[in-house]
Structure 1
Amino acid sequence: MPFACPGFTLKLKPMDRNNSLAEITHRYLQLIQAIPAAFYVCDKDGYIIHYNDAAAQLWGRKPVLGEERLCGSWRIYDTAGQPLPLNECPMAISLREGRPIYDAEIIIERPDGVRRHVLPHPRPVMGPSGEIIEIINMLVDITDLKQVTSALKESEERFRTMADQAPVMIWMTDENGQVTYVNTSWSSFTGLPPHAAFGSEWQQLVHPDDRTGVYNKWMRTVPVQQRFYLKFRFLTADQGYATVTGSGNPRYNSNGKFVGYIGILQDVTQQDHATGLLEQEVRDRIKDLRRANRELARSNSELEQFAYVSSHDLQEPLRKIQTYAEILEDRLEISDQAKYYLGKISDSSRRMMAMIRELLQFSRLSQSGEIYEPVHLEDILAQVRNDLELPIQEKHATIEAGPLPVIQGIPLQIKQLFYNLLNNSLKFCREGVPPVIQIRYETLSSAELKSRPSLHPGLHYFKLSFQDNCIGFDQVYADRIFTIFQRLNDRQQYDGNGIGLALCKKIVLNHHGDIYATAAKDSGSTFYVILPETITS
């Protein structure tokens, strides 16, 4: 459908429900580029994810997407020229308080040292449930206006000459708030001579539905000499109405006496339309993502049902094979070789049944549905020690553990994690060497947090280590060991199905963490588990 406003025309095709996410994203980025002003988008955590060429030109640089937060400029200052902390910039305040910010002028510095005065217009984009999903910002470069204001102190005539050359509508008032000057851009925009704005006559050009609100805001602002900002509809030369933003600053003479206001009117009709289209694209994208999530949930549910039914149906014939093999071995007089083969059948059946149970356990980790709660890792370790009491005694194993933290997690899964890691060390111990397992933890350093992109930069992590003196492995296989059904050792010598460490990795990923191992052949191994202290939705 065509859509137009003065100087800007855009044709949109009707939204096809089968459009790919890539196409939606492409159109989304095209809209951002189409906005004529400096414009950029941050995600809900404040990381810059999109910006247009106008923004890069204003900043004098191209920020790294997904790594830089809140503002792409080299440095930020307040209007007094003092450095402004990043968390106090208008974008940060808007994100923190969930509201638009309109009246917070800042100064940005480019890498080449050039400084620009800008008026940010950050605005959160809310989801259907009222949560912030993104935040957008349009930067209006008012450096020229600041220069005009400075020139006014030197020469009124020079100011008027420069103001008449400005591409925006400029106005001035006296100390009573009565308009005394508008530039030629105002006359070009409205089609009226300057005196049609003088005094309070300009209010007649405000849309009737907006007039009372504009008047009341103006009359509240002038007596207290505050900054003024308002968006409203204003009559144009073609007798239509355009959306404009009116902003003004109090001005003072050399003695510090208030002498009125100076400000601008800027046509933001195109930006408003572009922003509206952008917000619609965001809503459509969220709708598509939710539809995809529903399909994924349905698919996972069906997969879990299939895994459960399959495991039950597969285990039943295996039980019969094992039972009949034992009956044959007990009731028939058969040779030792036949008994050997029947024993092989029983062992293979038991191993297959164990593998099916572990595979079912692995598949269920994908859709836990359980609630995260405080988990005392020292209590978990005590429970696992008790479960492994027999192999610990048989192998004369020693488990040394220092204090362990409390994290937010799923208790049953964390217990599975500890069980599999300790059982792995007990299983692969060296012959004649009692296993010694040391468990420690530390706070994850910021350097390692940055080096692991799978971790969330906003979370606080603990790093647990499980170190043993067992057979170890070649470091070249450090990633392979976490792949399901992957084994590095002979099944005859070491029991197992190659699922335990894959379960560990799945559990850690369910908790938004990471796991890796270091080892050397015949020199033991160390498994590192990184888990967040708390998990937020």
Structure 2
Amino acid sequence: MAASHLRPGSIPRPAGLDSLAPGSGSIRLRSTRPRSESAPGGPRAATLARRPGDDMERPHAAHGGPGVALGTDPANRTRDPVRPGRDGAATRRRRPRGGRPAGRFAQKGCLVADASYGLGLRRGTLEAAERTRAVSPPTAQSYRQVLSGLPVAVYLADAQGRITFFNEAAAALWGREPELGKDVWCGAWRSYRPDGSALAPREGPVALAIREGRSIRGEEIVIERPDGTRRNVMVYPDPVRSASGEVEGAVNMLVDVTDRRRAEDALRRSEERYRTVLSLLPAAVYTCDAAGRITYYNEHAAQLWGREPRLGATDRRFCGAHRLWLPDGSALRHDGTPMARAVEEGRSFRNEKLVIERPDGSRIAVLVNIDPIRDEAGRLAGAINVFHDTTALVLAEQALRDREQRLREADRRKDEFIAMLSHELRNPLSALRNALATARLDAQRLPQALEIAQRQTDHLARLVDDLLDHARITQGRISLRREPTSLSRIVERAVEATRPLFAARGHRLSVSGPSDLRVHGDPTRLEQVLVNLLSNAAKYTDPGGEVAVSLAGDGGEAVLRVADNGAGMTPELLQQVFEPFAQADRGLHRPQGGLGIGLTLARRLVELHGGLIEGRSDGPGRGSEFTVRLPLLLEQQGGVAAGEPGTAPRRAARRRARILMVEDNPDAAESLRLLLEVLGHEVAVAHDGDAGLDVARARPPEVMLVDIGLPGADGFEIARRVRCDPALRHVTLVAVTGYGRDEDKRRSREAGFDHHLVKPIDAETLARVVARLESREADGAAAPGEGDGSAVAPREGAAAAPRLGATR
């Protein structure tokens, strides 16, 4: 086996070579050829043995013949005559100080050599005497040739460490030929420990084996040759003992493992690079062996697991996660993971989705990719898993699915809303048509018909206003006109606006709370919020029910509650009651009516005021309660003065004004002319822009009511031409249109209009316009008007021109 394939502590000995048996004091060379192929006494076998009863004298120069000296003096280090004993066995005779030969000493082992199959050093007992006597004894020269021909380095040393023999492999390994009997312990130029520290010869393995009388197996040292090169070797020294058990020397075998060490170093460096690359990957990586024990993981894996598992542990095999789950939420055992299946089945897995639970209970979604690992023989040795965190992606996908679901729901609600809108518009239009027909057919019923027409017209106006407000809020284009406002006055106005609805259904309405709570808000919008809440309470409470409005202070907040004992709400409806177009009753009957956007508007308006609105219900049939919380003013002031917003507008003074109306719709023009004439004004009508300009130049009016969408020159063009005509610069321009967006109002202001009124225009608004004109003539200056939501900011440089006043 090549050195590069050996491992420390498990290095096979060269073929046939084991050791010199500790305590045996013997050397045995034996052929590894099968007995049937090596007959006793054959030419391949040579035996040098020590048998009980044989005398072995110490070699003497006169004896002659080749030999190997063990324990001889330096002058006799290369030759040691061996004389034949009885039965052809080679013997040596030890001569005591008195000169007489000592008794023969027995050997417990033998050295057997076979030139074809190598050399073996073994422990053991003496071969059977009969077999030993049948083998021809080798000569000392043949013994030396066998040692010299070994494929591994072997050398012998005496008890003082002097080298008495070495073979060619040892000299080649050392890079020199040591001087026998002079060089001690080792023939290397220098010796080192594996860590690079110097190793003194007396501290080397051979010295230790002789000093302690024990064998040493597989200790690694580094030897340095005279040329400076170094080799890694494994040493196997055995002590050589005499018959009395005394250590006479040692035999050492050296195995060059330099190539193996270099291969191991290269492998280690490769593994280090491999681990460095894996540690730098932006993904989690870990490996396990064929038993599922984790053998490696990088920092990313530990972070995703939320723990650092112990390598080689068996409590959590195949994965270091605390717990595992499938995407559907079902638990997954560690031995059922894709990693376990990859090890068991030897196949790869791609983009498998799992959920990891960390020790702290948090969970993350991961995507795993696994490949099996095989050894050189193709056997499964484990698997490698590369996985990464996909939690953000999973959440994004879930958010996308939720959004798609919401869009589908919104689309469904839109369809329902269009159907509801059609229903809500047709009902008042039908009532209007019937009222007008009744008035034409029966003059006595005219007052009743007009009352019906007025109610239905107001209803249509509220529907359109709600739609416009919802559009503004959805697009973030609604603005507030905030000022110190009395909440008690807001409650009074809202109750007064909804009183007819309560009276029609026979409800009992109660109001309670202090009158000094003030907030910084838009009075019109806050009234709109409360009107929506009161209207819902009236509609969804059976006739004869009770509705309570309460106002209170709570710390730095004003708390407004509207409670009823009506239909109540299910938990499902309560969760979506503030969503657009959400209504409890979507059936064909729809006795409550409405578009389902009132509470949506209320919530947004309250939030714009920095407040909060909440709904509560104990269930169907158990009533509802809505609570509005608004921040109070930092400094509370007394009651609301008579002239503050929220008070009733002053009655418009009657004054005859000269008005020019430019309107292309004949019916709209005629109806508005009749209304203005009833109010006492002088009215002229033109049905296109050019005609309107001609009439204005012929007899300049005080007020021009101009439709925007005119044939020919539109309303914007008329306004620009009027402002460029010195004779008409005093005219107050009022845009009358069905377009009420902020963008439409901005364009009107830029064109030169003083005001922007959105159709339909009621009589009170027109009266205020003319009254404001009279007021300005008297005061000589323009002042802000009462709120009707229709004002356009004055133009720069237009202060000298008469204006009707800013209205809201």
> Given the two structures, how large is their TM-score scaled by the length of structure 1?
0.31
* Structure index of larger Rg: 2
> Given the two structures, how large is their TM-score scaled by the length of structure 2?
0.22
Q: Which has the larger helix fraction? A: 1
